[in-house]
Amino acid sequence: MNLFFDTFRTPLGDFSVAVDEAGAVVATAFGARDALGGRAGVCHLMDDKSRVAAAREQVLAYFAGKRTDFDLVLAPQGTPFQQRVWAALRQIPFGETRSYGALAAQLGNPSASRAIGRANATNPICLIVPCHRVIGADGSLTGFAFGEAIKRRLLEHERVPAFCAA
């Protein structure tokens, strides 16, 4: 599969986006091209800033405080369960968090916290599908593919009270 990508600077460092031939976002990553790695599946990545322009503009607007959600076409590759979890993640509003247990209950299976965590960990479209908004039941930062520091900074950017400096 041919994918087109671009890497650009954000306040948290490089950010990469890969889109398919129709322009749907397939994968994102904090870091350069190599960070997309297995997040996009087996593919051939070609540098193409013009095909990624809409995603780049929305991500930069998010970091500039001018956007709180994304209206991009997405095409994440995953199981039906993962797709349900990722769709639920998109329903968590900017500036709010959910625990893994709350997300499991929302999806009708309150005992599936660990399965929710695994699906969250395999989200190929970080930031746009806001897996960073899922935290531990005790309010702790848990699992984020790009590290706890970036997750914390994203929650600070979204002014989540528990993660903002006093």
CA distance 82 to 96: 21
Of 143, 136, 133, 151, nearest to 97 by C-alpha is 133
43 classed as catalytic: no
Q: Which tokens in the block code for residue 105?
A: 């209950």
Tokens of 134: 């899922």
Look up residue 162 and give its amino acid: A
- In the three-class reduction of DSSP (H, G, I as helix; E, B as strand; rest coil), residue 74 is classed as strand
Pairing of strands 13-19, 25-30: antiparallel
H/E element holding 18?
strand 13-19
CA distance 14 to 36: 12
> Which listed residue (43, 126, 131, 164) is catalytic?
131
Which residues are catalytically annotated? 131
